[in-house]
Structure 1
Amino acid sequence: MTDAKDAPNPRTSFGKRLRQLRGDRGWTLAEVAERSGLAISTISKAERGVISLTYDRLSQLARGLDVDLAAFFNADGQSFEPGSFAVARKGEFKRQETKNYVYEMLFPDLWNKAMTPMMGSLKAREFVDFEDFVRHPGQEFLIVMEGEVTVFVEDRDPVCLKAGDSIYFDSAVGHLYASGGDRDARILVVCVPGAGA
């Protein structure tokens, strides 16, 4: 039995994988920053396991490194081929935790998927805990599985969703999710990248 303190830290594992992908290309932090549009300090902190990146920053980094987003979570992924299928059993995911979200990246061993499915939890917090809106090319679907979620969309009134409610939107528009109650909410999110993403 593995002791919890001996379990690998997801941020540390992610950081090692990011450093390996950058090293495979022979690129400096500055080169990755230029290609991705992220700050050198952000990439450096992610590599050292100091911070976790939100989906929009993961997407930027994947584009900058010219890798599938799933490559951050599994070095031995295989491309999804026409006619194939995959099953994700309960608990089969790669965890990515930020200050406000816990992402459970589904199918981390499948590369070149047309969409990125994620389950997760929204920590019970207030809107003021967010630094800025999240935005990334493409479209996004969210369904609330448990609890309540408030979706903040730039230049629009917030939308309150209860268990079973869903929303679909252009993810290039600034958006944020927050638990609408005093407990964490469970969600399923599916992101589809936009052209050139």
Structure 2
Amino acid sequence: MTDVKHAPNPRADFGRRLRQLRRDRGWTLAEVADRSGLAISTISKAERGVISLTYDRLSQLARGLEVDLAAFFNAEGQSFEPGSFAVARKGDFKRQETPNYVYEMLFPDLWNKAMTPMMGSLKAREFMDFEDFVRHPGQEFLVVLEGAVTVFAEGREPVHLEAGDSLYFDSAVGHLYASDSDQDARILVVCVPGAGT
């Protein structure tokens, strides 16, 4: 039986890691906010484990702190080198949960990857569940593993995807994913950062 006081808390762990990365640089919340484009209150809440950040905000924060995205999940990691070969077994991931998504960040101890692979679950059921579109520099690949998904893209008609269907797009275009059933859909997403990110 797991002691509730000592149960893993990914949001609190993430917050401690974020605070340590900021302090290692000797930067204030205001400096990180200026560098990342995120609000001071957002960074502060993330550091205190009050909120979890979506992928687009994680990317902004990583650029602002000048760290690899994986640094938020592991204090140390190995850089991906030519000839490298890494295996992730089922359950080998770091969890990041937001109100609409559960991200399973794959290979969190492998730094300087050319892409960010994530598996996850979609808790959102419709566009109204979101405050705004997600957007970040780069390209994105999505494949539906289980269930059905509607992809909302800024300026486009929604796209319905069934299990086995996939989509590849410019992730700078605002986008959202929502499950099309009473069950959370399972997806695999691979993000490739844009030039200069």
Give the TM interval when normalised to the shorter protein: over 0.9
Q: Is 2:77 aligned against 1:52?
A: no
Aligned residue in 2 for 1:111: 111
Counterpart CA distance in 2 for 1:5 and 1:152 is 40
Q: Which runs of 5+ in 1 are unaligned?
A: none
Aligned residue in 1 for 2:154: 154
Query: What is the aligned-residue RMSD (CA, Å)?
Result: 0.9
Aligned residue in 2 for 1:37: 37
**What is the CA deviation profile of residues 51-96 of structure 1, one whole-angstrom value per residue up to 9, with x for unaligned ones?**
0000000000000000000000001111000001100000000000
- Mean Cα deviation higher: 3-12 or 105-114: 3-12
- 3-state SS in 2 of match to 1:61: helix
Q: Is 2:9 aligned against 1:9?
A: yes
Counterpart CA distance in 2 for 1:4 and 1:125 is 30
Shift of 1:120: 0.2
Q: How does 1:79-118 map to 2 (within 5 A)?
A: 79-118=79-118
Shift of 1:34: 0.1
Structure 1-normalised TM-score?
0.98
Shift of 1:112: 0.2
Q: Where has structure 1 moved over 4 Å in runs of 4 or more?
A: none
Shift of 1:129: 1.0
Counterpart CA distance in 1 for 2:5 and 2:117 is 29
Residues 124 and 183, structure 1, Cα contact 8 Å, conserved in 2 = no
Identical amino acids, percent of aligned pairs = 87
**What is the CA deviation profile of residues 83-134 of structure 1, one whole-angstrom value per residue up to 9, with x for unaligned ones?**
0110000000000000000000000000000000000000152210100000
AA at the equivalent of 1:149: V
Shift of 1:5: 5.6
Counterpart CA distance in 1 for 2:173 and 2:128 is 19
Q: Which runs of 5+ in 2 are unaligned?
A: none
Residues 124 and 181, structure 1, Cα contact 8 Å, conserved in 2 = no
AA at the equivalent of 2:121: S
Structure 2-normalised TM-score?
0.98
Aligned residue in 1 for 2:141: 141
Counterpart CA distance in 2 for 1:37 and 1:127 is 25
Q: Is 2:177 aligned against 1:177?
A: yes
